[in-house]
Structure 1
Amino acid sequence: MLRTEAKSTIKLALPIIIGELAQMALHIIDTAMVGAISYKQLAAAALVINAMNIPFVVGIGMTISVSQMVSMAHGRRDAALVSHYFFNGFLLCAISALLISGFLFGFQPFLDHLGQDPEVVRLAMPFMRLMAISILPMLLFMTLKQFTDGLEFTKTAMLLSLAGMPINILLNWLLIYGNWGFPRLELEGAGWATLITRSLMFTVLGIIILKHPTFRPYISNSKNQWFLKRKTWRELLHIGIPSSLQIGMEAGAFAVSGIMIGTFGAVPQAAHQIALSCAAFTFMVSMGLAQAGSIRVSNAFGRSDWPRITLIGKSTLITALAYGICCALTFAVFRQQLPVLFNKDIEVIQLAALLLLFAAVFQISDATQAIGAGLLRGIKDVRVPTLLVGIAYWVVGLPMGYILGFNFNMGAKGMWLGFIAGLTLASIFLISRFLNMCKKEN
């Protein structure tokens, strides 16, 4: 039974995973192509990514509410309710995207006050402006993706994410390096490439949803179901706000740590960005599994089928455990080769290789905590897990990293030991809570 459930979850998860990996690949490609110019360009990209990471993932957390509510309505075979949740969810996420974009514009002057290398800050400013704008099409694309994922049409967004990769690479090649007569914009060129690619992806997915026969049953209900309803917004926010906080607290711990590491210098910041990019890439698979498990659990939860919820949950956790072990081995074996893909500076490569060993240690806990959070969202348990995640990252992980990094002079290594502690504690908290709730209900 566990093997059967695992296969079903993986089948649903694969297109989500591929799409997530494609999105992450865009960031890694940007990082690698910019890093080929200089490590200070790489450090500037890292500064912007760290500064905007918390508000960005808060926006992504809000989009998760769309897939959760659409999935439950879809499980009841209620196309009208699906349409209603889609409309209200899209408006909610659009407002969130506008607020986040505006906040990032206003945050630009504070880059000067984070104790970073002045040259890194100068390079980061124009990139920050472009990335703030590109938040809008990206979060709107994610909202549409959550809608299609909630209906278990996961291949649509996947194909668009894959199509975005060669477009982004070409635009990077033209605008970063100034090929074919285009201006050489370096890091700013990467920002323009990202904005154009994200806008195209959102536009095309929107047209597909509005015009394709697959989605006609939901769009045809627009006249009757596309209206604002306070109860619907409360339901969406009940899932969206805690989901945003959960993801935001984890990403926030990494982002704040990245900014702290930047105070050690451009070399540690660049090395941190390389190791973190690799860890974030593998985490996308865990996120895809978590989303698929959450969608399947949400359907079963709508029917109050706790034995099925337990089977789906345990099989997904076992899958995540096996995946985490594979990632840990990969990082340990190829720690010297992976940094070379991003930068040629010897100091950066050596430190990044060491940090990849730390990343190898937390691969298992990182994968399993993501699954635990997703499964709990599927049974609409979001408030207590949010508190538990906050304790793991902000009461234990980040303070421990700060003490080791600054008070014990361990630098970036100390901050990464804090990551290990926070992720491990989060995994124990979330998995234990899910299994205890299943035991209680069965």
Structure 2
Amino acid sequence: MANAPLPLATTPNTLRWHVRRTLVLAWPVILSRVGVVLMSTMDVVVVGRAGAEELAYYVLGFAVIDSLVAVMAGLQLGVPVLAARSIGEGRPHLAAIIWRRGLLFSVVIGLMAALVWQGAPWFFSVTGQEEDLARGGGAVSALLAFSLPFIGLYLVSATLLEALEKPFHATIAVFIANGVNLMLSIVFVFGFGPIPAMGAWGCALATVITSALLGLGLAGYVRFVLPGRQVYGFGVKTADLPPPGNEQRRLGYAAGASYGLEAAAFAGITVLAGLLGIISLAAMGVLFQLFAVTFMISFGIAGATQVRVGNAWGRQDARGMAQAGWAGFGLSLVSSVIISIVFVLFPEVFIRGLTNDQAVIAAALPMMIWMVMALLADGGQTVLNHACRGRGDTWIPTSLHMVSYWFVMLPLGWFLALHLGGGATGLYQAILISSLISLIAMGSRFVLLSRRGLPDGPQKV
């Protein structure tokens, strides 16, 4: 079987082998993750040409939806973890059942979130945003919320393909979606023929349409077109018992809470930036796109690391679990350092690529160095987080995220940016400090888990 893992006795248990295997799996996963973020990055590029006000609407409106997408990504984490473990156990035919469970779960949660978030304008108003910003950003956010069920379809299918070590299928789909999204954004933002210019709201409409095409298309591909799909249980019946549904949900609840807490805290940072004014908010949003693209490289390595750790667990390879985790961390660190050096050497080139508003460019340039240092720490902590989850750890990483980002980053961001008058630069300083704390905590946790050896069973936390 092409995707069956090597037996423990024949597995080359060296760090070099783990690095190579992680890279083979990671690079298409990285492209897929970067492709997802590029959709919002290109939205910022397009809306950034419509003026600082429209850009501020989009940055504020997108921030909360982005945190909900993170929750969706966490809730389906049981899909790749259990699928990878089943493959490691030599039972790949259980993947279809795991996928179907995740699909239903994500769509239901996405629909519920979309309906609740129709109150976005009210939320921004009560958090102290200016009336015009609350109205414009709220309208964008309420529309973007309808993309959530479709993003759920995409995430479940994409992460299953990653667990099957077929991530390039999702990569192709997301880059096709980028092209569609860019064309629709240009048309809807600036208008074309009978279509009026809709600004930031039009950009959100393009995202919803593109998300629907992407989610439905990839789910259909997995179910009906994927080569060798019968091997993974699609279209065939099996008497073999799958992993318990409550374990899949347990992994999802913990990861959803963890991802959601971190992303919601970052959304809170954006809300704080809104209190500093439209220019500060727009500058924060521009730099955050550079931050997010770089972070997604680490996030892609993290996804591959999680699969590699899960495979090692399935074949009962304690040493391999530890080596897979540290190999992923090292790859993330090296890639982040290289990109950070480029950002530091040519900061204005990247900022001007996202906006031509001179006031926004002037506000963003001094923050670049703090953003660069923050992304180094944030990328490393997410890889170690996924390494812990790949071996079945659940609520401890969630608790560590809560402490780092809610008890440290948000209060510190308010203190540095608003109380001490550090402005948006103070917000990035808070991100740096909290990410360093999370990195140290996650690294210590993975060291402890590695010393324990193999988990006692699937319920081990």
TM-score for the superposition, normalised by structure 1: 0.95
The percent identity for this pair of structures is 24
The CA distance in 1 between the partners of 2:118 and 2:143, in whole Å, is 9
Distance 1:125 1:368, change over 3 A: closer
Tell whether the 8 Å contact from 2:120 to 2:138 is kept in structure 1 after alignment: no
Paired positions, count: 440
Q: Which residue of 2 aligns with 1:291?
A: 303
When structure 1 is superposed on structure 2, of 293-302 and 124-133 the one drifting more is 124-133
1:55: how far off?
2.3
- Whether 1:326 aligns to 2:338 is yes
Please show how residues 325-364 of structure 1 align to structure 2 within 5 Å: 325-364=337-376
Letter in 1 for 2:174: S
The CA distance in 2 between the partners of 1:324 and 1:157, in whole Å, is 23
SS class of match (1:336): helix
1:363: how far off?
2.4
When structure 1 is superposed on structure 2, of 114-123 and 326-335 the one drifting more is 114-123
Residue deviations 1:245-269, cap 9 Å, x none?
2212221221101101101100100
- Whether 1:72 aligns to 2:82 is no
- Whether 1:415 aligns to 2:427 is yes
Tell whether the 8 Å contact from 1:62 to 1:237 is kept in structure 2 after alignment: yes
Letter in 1 for 2:263: A
Q: Which residue of 1 aligns with 2:231?
A: 217
- Whether 1:277 aligns to 2:277 is no
The CA distance in 2 between the partners of 1:51 and 1:175, in whole Å, is 22
SS class of match (2:77): helix
The CA distance in 1 between the partners of 2:64 and 2:95, in whole Å, is 35
Distance 1:108 1:287, change over 3 A: same
Residue deviations 1:202-246, cap 9 Å, x none?
22212212222422333545655899x9x7331112211111122
Q: Which residue of 2 aligns with 1:308?
A: 320
Where do 4+ consecutive residues of structure 1 move more than 6 Å? none
Distance 1:332 1:234, change over 3 A: same
- Whether 1:150 aligns to 2:198 is no
Tell whether the 8 Å contact from 1:294 to 1:377 is kept in structure 2 after alignment: yes
- Whether 1:429 aligns to 2:416 is no
Please show how residues 95-244 of structure 1 align to structure 2 within 5 Å: 95-212=108-225, 213-221=227-235, 232-244=244-256
The CA distance in 1 between the partners of 2:141 and 2:453, in whole Å, is 48
1:428: how far off?
0.7
Residue deviations 1:18-76, cap 9 Å, x none?
01111111101111101101101010011111232332211111122211111111222
When structure 1 is superposed on structure 2, of 306-315 and 214-223 the one drifting more is 214-223
The CA distance in 2 between the partners of 1:100 and 1:225, in whole Å, is 35
When structure 1 is superposed on structure 2, of 51-60 and 38-47 the one drifting more is 51-60
The CA distance in 1 between the partners of 2:131 and 2:240, in whole Å, is 50
User: Gaps (5+ residues) in structure 1?
Assistant: none
Q: Which residue of 1 aligns with 2:385?
A: 373
User: RMSD across aligned C-alpha pairs, in angstroms?
Assistant: 2.0
1:277: how far off?
0.9
Structure 2 residue corresponding to 1:384, chosen from 396, 420, 425 = 396
Tell whether the 8 Å contact from 2:122 to 2:134 is kept in structure 1 after alignment: no
Structure 2 residue corresponding to 1:249, chosen from 236, 247, 261 = 261
Tell whether the 8 Å contact from 1:293 to 1:371 is kept in structure 2 after alignment: yes
Letter in 1 for 2:391: I
SS class of match (1:183): coil
Tell whether the 8 Å contact from 1:401 to 1:414 is kept in structure 2 after alignment: yes
**Which structure shows the higher helix fraction?**
1
Distance 1:167 1:309, change over 3 A: same
Letter in 2 for 1:236: Q
1:180: how far off?
4.1
The CA distance in 1 between the partners of 2:450 and 2:147, in whole Å, is 41
- Whether 1:264 aligns to 2:290 is no
Letter in 1 for 2:87: H
Tell whether the 8 Å contact from 2:121 to 2:134 is kept in structure 1 after alignment: no
Structure 2 residue corresponding to 1:31, chosen from 36, 44, 52 = 44
Letter in 2 for 1:59: M
The CA distance in 2 between the partners of 1:386 and 1:68, in whole Å, is 16
Distance 1:224 1:6, change over 3 A: closer
Letter in 2 for 1:211: F
1:346: how far off?
2.2
The CA distance in 2 between the partners of 1:30 and 1:290, in whole Å, is 25
SS class of match (2:415): helix
Tell whether the 8 Å contact from 1:63 to 1:142 is kept in structure 2 after alignment: yes
SS class of match (2:181): helix
- Whether 1:94 aligns to 2:69 is no
SS class of match (1:37): coil
Letter in 2 for 1:24: V
SS class of match (2:76): helix
User: Gaps (5+ residues) in structure 2?
Assistant: 1-13, 455-461
Structure 2 residue corresponding to 1:404, chosen from 391, 407, 416 = 416
Tell whether the 8 Å contact from 1:83 to 1:226 is kept in structure 2 after alignment: no
Letter in 2 for 1:35: G
The CA distance in 1 between the partners of 2:220 and 2:106, in whole Å, is 18
The CA distance in 2 between the partners of 1:74 and 1:276, in whole Å, is 37
Letter in 2 for 1:176: V
Tell whether the 8 Å contact from 2:189 to 2:197 is kept in structure 1 after alignment: yes
Letter in 2 for 1:216: Q
Tell whether the 8 Å contact from 1:210 to 1:219 is kept in structure 2 after alignment: no
TM-score for the superposition, normalised by structure 2: 0.91
